[in-house]
Structure 1
């Protein structure tokens, strides 16, 4: 199955040499990049996932490969296969050590249509405490995708105060989450950014992302601009 998938990926990459060069810079991976576009990867994942069990995906994840698109495809298979939440989390534990790019995380994380109790919440919190940069980013992006709601927002902020990893891709994910949270929880998020537990760089980056967004009213943008100016 591994060899068949590599053949399919190579076929999808034909004629994409310039895109491969461009994307290698964007995703900042040490892996080989052959230039398969994300829509094609998603399409292939949908085609393959219908007949795949958790054990099949686990075997693919265990197969040695230094191909960026192969690893990402394995992640997409996890999200599309007809498997339980418990199986998906077990496979995600196997997937995360394979990744080396923010895109391996951001393309993989999707809003869940259903939940088995608090299993995904607890898994996200567990990932926040990892020593691995992209595992922590996964936890942050998962919270952003699924838990920025009335019943979770205070607990999300409380959990993020305990994140110790200071890697660039963790801090960028945190800034992105705060900027996203501010859309529906504007005053609460601004207050959280000023609680003294968030460093100036991350606070400034969150303000910058808010300023770049079109999801805030002119009045809110004025407040953000003042906050950003005070931070500089």
Structure 2
């Protein structure tokens, strides 16, 4: 008889890795300690079967169960509207940065349906929920920092006014990616924006931490820090 997802995860859990993994995600306490490559293997296999029943019948108890659920959606070979249906159903399960960022990174189907997914993302920018917003921002930095979308991306980022730490950090991260990929238009934005000081300064810090930015540019970026 095939093992349930929970049984597979319990078998793969490593106590040593659990302590390391849990320390990276301070706001949750349900980490088993299963490594990401193992989770991906499970998700890839489950994506070809009747996985929806598994998650509907069994309420997720562990962080890794939620991770696998998100990864499965990224592996689905389905019509874009069906994938978006599953994405929308999954988003309320996101309650930490790790699940959010891993989920977004797996949604590579976006690359083939950028306009469609862009439209899908818009309501999430209006949400007051911390992880709805982080999801939308991380999707931008993964898939929309390009010639076509950059102006719209910067406008969206500038319009986010939320005090949650993981929203601010996502916005700062996204702006740093914009700068690294497209420095000139992003520099123009950095000189005139409505970001709060914390987010602005964090964006500058992330730019200076990149090995893809030269030393002279880093010097200029550091000089822009708000007091």
Would you say same fold, with TM above 0.5? yes
2:67 matched residue in structure 1:
72
CA RMSD of aligned residues (A): 2.1
Q: TM-score, normalised by structure 2?
A: 0.91
Contact 2:158/2:193 (CA < 8 Å) preserved in 1?
A: no
Tell me the CA shift for residue 66 of structure 1: 2.3
1:34 to 16, 32, 35: 32
1:122 matched residue in structure 2:
119
2:197 aligned with 1:225, yes or no?
A: no
1:183-227 superposed Cα distances (whole Å, 9 cap, x missing partner): 122132122223241111111001111111101122212211222
Alignment of 1:16-95 (within 5 A): 16-52=14-50, 56-57=51-52, 60=55, 63-95=58-90
Tell me the CA shift for residue 3 of structure 1: 7.1
2:185 matched residue in structure 1:
188
Partner secondary structure for residue 89 of structure 2 = helix
Tell me the CA shift for residue 61 of structure 1: 5.1
Contact 1:31/1:66 (CA < 8 Å) preserved in 2?
A: no
2:5 matched residue in structure 1:
5
Query: 1:132 and 1:2, CA in 2 relative to 1: closer, same or farther beyond 3 A?
Result: farther
1:147 matched residue in structure 2:
144
Q: TM-score, normalised by structure 1?
A: 0.89
Contact 1:75/1:108 (CA < 8 Å) preserved in 2?
A: yes
1:158-195 superposed Cα distances (whole Å, 9 cap, x missing partner): 12222232211010000000011101221321222232
Contact 1:129/1:164 (CA < 8 Å) preserved in 2?
A: no
Partner secondary structure for residue 148 of structure 1 = coil
Partner Cα separation in structure 1 for residue 215 and residue 93 of structure 2: 43
**Unaligned ranges ≥5, structure 2:** none
1:82-108 superposed Cα distances (whole Å, 9 cap, x missing partner): 122211211111111112110011111
Deviates more, 1:21-30 or 1:70-79: 21-30
Contact 2:208/2:218 (CA < 8 Å) preserved in 1?
A: yes
Tell me the CA shift for residue 59 of structure 1: 5.3
Tell me the CA shift for residue 35 of structure 1: 0.3
Tell me how many residue pairs correspond in the alignment: 225
Partner secondary structure for residue 69 of structure 2 = helix
2:158 matched residue in structure 1:
161
Contact 1:32/1:68 (CA < 8 Å) preserved in 2?
A: yes
Tell me the CA shift for residue 140 of structure 1: 0.2
1:137 to 131, 134, 137: 134
Query: 1:139 and 1:61, CA in 2 relative to 1: closer, same or farther beyond 3 A?
Result: farther
2:179 aligned with 1:172, yes or no?
A: no
1:20-65 superposed Cα distances (whole Å, 9 cap, x missing partner): 122112122434111011111111111221234xxx4375156312
